[in-house]
């Protein structure tokens, strides 16, 4: 397991969406017996200790209940219906003043764990943005220095972190093939499980 970082970078787990295409809250989908949101939090805690924040929205109480054993801090996004940008804004406003950067990750990429998050943190270089590279694009998980917090706070609607990543001219890209596999609808579950070589059990 990775040793928790000594920097003041935080990891934010985005878990506010309604999962309309999935038909149920994918934050709570059991993957190898553990809710996806809990898996993401445990991975984050392995690399940054207690500097982890979860942004809740839809099904907030159920998500908080699932996270109770992790001891993680959460913040509720009352405007989650607006889109992912609202969660980015809420997260940035909730981070402490000594935070030097934020690594955003999603709970619907079960192939992304502590080693991949650590690789992104290890690649930090000065004031550059660091992002996962996969399938001929870049996306989250991605790490933004504090100098980008104002830009993150100005996003709106469905324009998430990808909009800022595309505007970066000196971005550090870390190859993370596992980030390609995310869960949007029920048909993705067996396909992603096979692709990342994991057993998936969804217990109602």
203 within a domain of the structure (yes/no) = no
Is 201 a member of any domain? no
Tens digits of pLDDT across the chain (204 residues): 444 444 799 999 999 988 888 878 899 999 999 999 999 999 999 999 999 999 999 999 999 999 999 999 999 999 999 889 999 999 999 999 999 999 999 999 999 999 999 999 999 998 999 999 999 999 999 999 999 999 999 998 776 788 889 888 899 999 999 999 999 899 999 999 998 876 555 443
pTM: 0.91
Place of tokens 């000196």: 170
In this structure, is residue 172 part of a structural domain? yes
Residue 79 CA from chain centroid, whole number: 18
153 is a domain residue: yes
The 3-class secondary structure across the chain, one letter per residue, is CCCCCCCCEEEEEEECCCCCCCCCCHHHCEECCEEHHHHHHHHHHHHHCCCEEEEEECEHHHHHHHHHHHCCEEEECCCHHHCHHHHHHHHHHHCCCCCCEEEEEECCCCCCCHHHHHHHHHCCCCCCCEEEEECCEEEEEEEEEHHHHHHHHCCCCCCCHHHHHHHCCCCEEEECHHHHCCCCCCCHHHHHHHHHCCCCCCCC
Owning domain of residue 124: 9-196
> How many domains in the chain?
1
Q: CATH number of the domain that 183 lies in?
A: 3.90.550.10
Q: How far apart (Å, rounded) are the C-alpha atoms in residues 130 and 148?
A: 12
Quick check: is 99 in a domain? Answer: yes
Q: Flag whether 1 is in a domain.
A: no
**Does residue 53 belong to any structural domain of this protein?**
yes
Is 4 inside any structural domain? no
């Amino acid at each position: 397991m990775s040793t928790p970082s000594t920097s003041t970078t935080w990891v934010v787990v985005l878990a506010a969406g309604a999962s309309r295409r999935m038909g149920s809250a994918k934050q709570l989908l059991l993957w190898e017996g553990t809710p996806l949101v809990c898996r993401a939090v445990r991975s984050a805690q392995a690399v940054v200790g207690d500097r982890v924040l979860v942004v809740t929205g839809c099904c907030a109480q159920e998500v908080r209940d699932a996270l109770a054993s992790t001891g993680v801090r959460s913040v509720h996004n009352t405007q989650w219906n607006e889109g992912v940008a609202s969660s980015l804004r809420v997260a940035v406003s909730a981070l402490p003043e000594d935070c030097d950067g934020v690594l955003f990750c999603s709970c619907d990429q079960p192939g992304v764990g502590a080693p991949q998050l650590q690789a992104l943190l290890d690649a930090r270089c000065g004031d550059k943005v660091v992002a996962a590279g996969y399938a001929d694009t870049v996306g989250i998980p991605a790490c933004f220095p504090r100098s980008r917090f104002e830009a993150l706070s100005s996003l709106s609607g469905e324009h998430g972190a990808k909009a800022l990543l595309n505007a970066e001219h000196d971005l550090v890209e870390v190859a993370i093939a596992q980030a390609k596999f995310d869960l949007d609808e029920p048909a993705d579950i067996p396909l992603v499980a096979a692709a990342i070589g994991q057993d998936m059990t969804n217990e109602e």
